[in-house]
Amino acid sequence: MHSIILDSVHKVFRPTGLFFPRRDKTETYALQGISLNISRGEVFALLGPNGSGKSTTLKLISTVLLPDRGAVLVNGADTRHQAPRVRQQVGFALASERSFFSRLTVRENLDFFATLENVPRGERGDCIQSVLSDVQLELHAGKQFMKLSSGLQQRMGIARALVKKPRVLLLDEPTRSLDPASAEHLWSLVRQLASTGITILIATHNFAEAVSVSDRTGILEKGRLRATRQTMGITAEQLRAQYMELTGEWEAAPWPEEVPA
Amino acid sequence: MILEKVLAVLKKDFLTAVRYRNGLLLNAFAPAGQLVMFYYLARSVGPQFRPEGMPYFTFLLVGTGFYTFLLTGMHSFFRSIQESQQTGTLEVLMTTSTPASVLLWLSVISVFASGLLQLALYIGGGFVLFRPALQVNVAGCVAVFFLSLLIVVSIGMIAAGLQVAIHKGSAALWLLGSTAWIISGTLFPVAALPRPMQILAGLLPLTHSLSGMRLALGSGPTSALIREIELLAMFSVMLVPASLWFFSWTVGRARQFGTLSHY
């Protein structure tokens, strides 16, 4: 049973004007006919250079964006026609860490979003405590969001995505601001969540992350899915070599991240 | 569940407001200063000036108090969207299980609640301190207030839609707000304006809101009050469905073009 289906999805960003036609006619082809099936409980990592379409793919699955052509289905629900059903199932942790109310504490922020996500009042306290523990934020629960470091803010984004108990979890560069120990902890959390049947899609630049947590990896380049492969048994270095070959990024810097493999 | 969401929003906004202590203090004292200013302005103009048959102080009190409430409500929708865009919460909020239009309504509840409280304190304070004479038509007041609320909510939703679509809802509201401040009868009667401006004022719903509220509070002729209520009802019937459609259309368009978080 496929949890996420992308069927020939195209997404083009066009400059638009409401009242006046735009002179700038440049179109950005973010996704060009992507097809991808991800099974229930699978962890899938999307790799690709900046602007390759990773975040666009996640936004299409979360209903923030609508496809121009093709269809995106989440557990059978079409993101275009059944957006409320999709939203009930999808937790999305954005790469941006600023999307919280800065003067509220960690717990108050999570309580607010849990209410919007229809988490029953009786379960909310336990649920928040549980996700705070999952992302190791219990000690910071009483701090205002603006006083958190960027790494802690990023963990809070993940906590928010988990608070609704999603069936599909979308993580956009989840370890970008995390220290190595926190990154390792997050990877083990991702594996644990997947074992409970949650489908997880991670957009990342981190090869070590991709081989550590994912069952399969897909490589995006210029809006096209160039390859997908099983991750088991391959090293980060092998994955990197394949990525470089496919994307032509031979001139790339040495090893781009220092997180533990 | 919707009541829980309302309470969650009120709690969030209350906690945010009290944690900006200086702003809270200034907001509390600003209306008091304005009341004193209007009192002395009315005294310097003299008791013989009775616009629309009421003392000038009462005229100013009702006009500015009600106008400020309506304008604040109107701005709240646009500000809610703009703040969500700037803080990055808009895209996240749009992926929650709460529909976009419900989120927008929830986000302005606190503004209307605090605006109502300020209006009550402002007008109440004015009456307690300076004791102007009033003969209140309660049913008329409620009707004018309710219809005016529907109208400002509709205009606010159109401004929020413009903010989503062209990222400049503020320009439309500034134009409307500044025009209405001058010609809708906030500080001086519409009858004092040149004829073309009077016609323009008649096309603004805010003019009828202020006129209706003054008639209801100053016990003006019932026929004139009913006429203002009819006009406000007509504006509401046109604006409410149009604003709902426009906001949904702009959000759908932004999701298609990927411009939801642009500002």
Contact call for A117 and B93, based on CB within 8 A: no
Choose between A3 and B125: higher pLDDT. A3
Contact call for A84 and B99, based on CB within 8 A: yes
List phi, psi (to 5°) of A219: -110, 120
Per-residue confidence band for B44, with pLDDT thresholds at 50, 70 and 90: confident
Which segments of chain A does DSSP mark as H helices, in order?
A: 54-62, 83-89, 106-116, 121-134, 150-163, 180-195, 207-213, 236-247
A79, A66 in Cβ contact below 8 A?
yes
Lowest-confidence range among A31-45, A107-121, B209-223? B209-223
Average pLDDT, chain B: 85
DSSP single-letter state for residue B54:
S
Contact call for A16 and B95, based on CB within 8 A: no
Q: How close B260 gets to chain A, by Cα (Å)?
A: 8
**B89 → closest Cβ in A87, A99, A108:** A99
This prediction has a pTM of 0.80
Nearest to B159 by CA among B229, B99, B237, B247: B247
Give the pLDDT score at B103. 83
Contact call for B259 and A66, based on CB within 8 A: no
Distance CA B153, CA B33 (A): 28
Give the pLDDT score at B87. 78
Interface test with B, best of A19, A27, A115 (most B CBs within 10 A): A115
Per-residue confidence band for A138, with pLDDT thresholds at 50, 70 and 90: very high
Domain ranges of chain A: 2-96+166-247
ipTM reported for the complex surpasses 0.95: no
Q: Which residue of A has its CA nearest to B94?
A: A64
**A116 → closest Cβ in B5, B165, B253:** B5
Interface test with B, best of A9, A10, A13, A18 (most B CBs within 10 A): A18
Residue B27: how many CA atoms within 13 Å on its side-chain side?
Answer: 13
Per-residue pLDDT for A5 more than 50? Answer: yes
A231, A38 in Cβ contact below 8 A?
no
Per-residue pLDDT for B231 more than 90? Answer: yes
Per-residue pLDDT for A137 more than 60? Answer: yes
Per-residue pLDDT for A257 more than 70? Answer: no
Q: How far is CA A234 from CA A221, A226, A229, in A?
A: 21, 18, 10
Per-residue pLDDT for B71 more than 70? Answer: yes
Give the pLDDT score at B170. 79
Per-residue pLDDT for A142 more than 90? Answer: yes
Q: Calculate mean pLDDT across residues A164-174.
A: 94
CB contact, 8 Å: B166 with chain A? Answer: yes
DSSP B204-244: -HHHHHHHHHHHHHTT--HHHHHHHHHHHHHHHHHHHHHHH
Interface test with A, best of B5, B11, B94, B97 (most A CBs within 10 A): B97
Q: Calculate mean pLDDT across residues B171-192.
A: 86
Q: Each residue of A180-196: pLDDT tens digit? A: 888 898 899 999 999 99
Give the tokens for residue A123. 């379960």
Contact call for B258 and A13, based on CB within 8 A: yes
Contact call for B255 and A66, based on CB within 8 A: yes
% residues pLDDT > 90 (chain B): 23
Per-residue confidence band for A108, with pLDDT thresholds at 50, 70 and 90: very high
Tell me the chain B residues in contact with residue A62 when contact means C-beta distances shorter than 8 Å: 95
Give the tokens for residue A169. 């979890």
**CATH value of A2-96+166-247 in 2.10.50.10, 3.90.1520.10, 3.40.50.300, 3.30.2130.30:** 3.40.50.300
**A104 → closest Cβ in B16, B94, B162:** B16
Q: Calculate mean pLDDT across residues A228-250.
A: 86
Per-residue confidence band for B140, with pLDDT thresholds at 50, 70 and 90: very high
Q: Calculate mean pLDDT across residues B51-76.
A: 85
Give the pLDDT score at B135. 77
Give the pLDDT score at B50. 83
Tell me the chain A residues in contact with residue B4 when contact means C-beta distances shorter than 8 Å: 115, 121
Long-range contacts of A133-138 (CB under 8 A, 24+ apart): A134/A159, A134/A162, A134/A189, A135/A159, A135/A162, A135/A186, A135/A189, A136/A182, A136/A185, A137/A106
CB contact, 8 Å: B249 with chain A? Answer: no
Per-residue confidence band for A261, with pLDDT thresholds at 50, 70 and 90: very low
**B88 → closest Cβ in A66, A96, A164:** A96
CB contact, 8 Å: B94 with chain A? Answer: yes
Nearest to B152 by CA among B199, B213, B93: B213
Q: How close A187 gets to chain B, by Cα (Å)?
A: 23
Per-residue pLDDT for A171 more than 90? Answer: yes
Per-residue confidence band for A160, with pLDDT thresholds at 50, 70 and 90: very high
List phi, psi (to 5°) of B29: -90, -25
Give the pLDDT score at A254. 52
Per-residue pLDDT for B32 more than 50? Answer: yes
Rg (CA), chain B: 19
Give the pLDDT score at B181. 85
A22, A15 in Cβ contact below 8 A?
yes
Contact call for B89 and A101, based on CB within 8 A: yes
Helix (H) or strand (E) holding B36: helix B21-45
Q: Calculate mean pLDDT across residues B81-102.
A: 82
Which range of A75-79, B46-50, B114-118 scores highest in mean pLDDT? It is A75-79
Give the pLDDT score at A97. 65
Per-residue confidence band for B58, with pLDDT thresholds at 50, 70 and 90: confident
**B8 → closest Cβ in A68, A99, A115:** A115
Average pLDDT, chain A: 89
Distance CA A41, CA A195 (A): 6
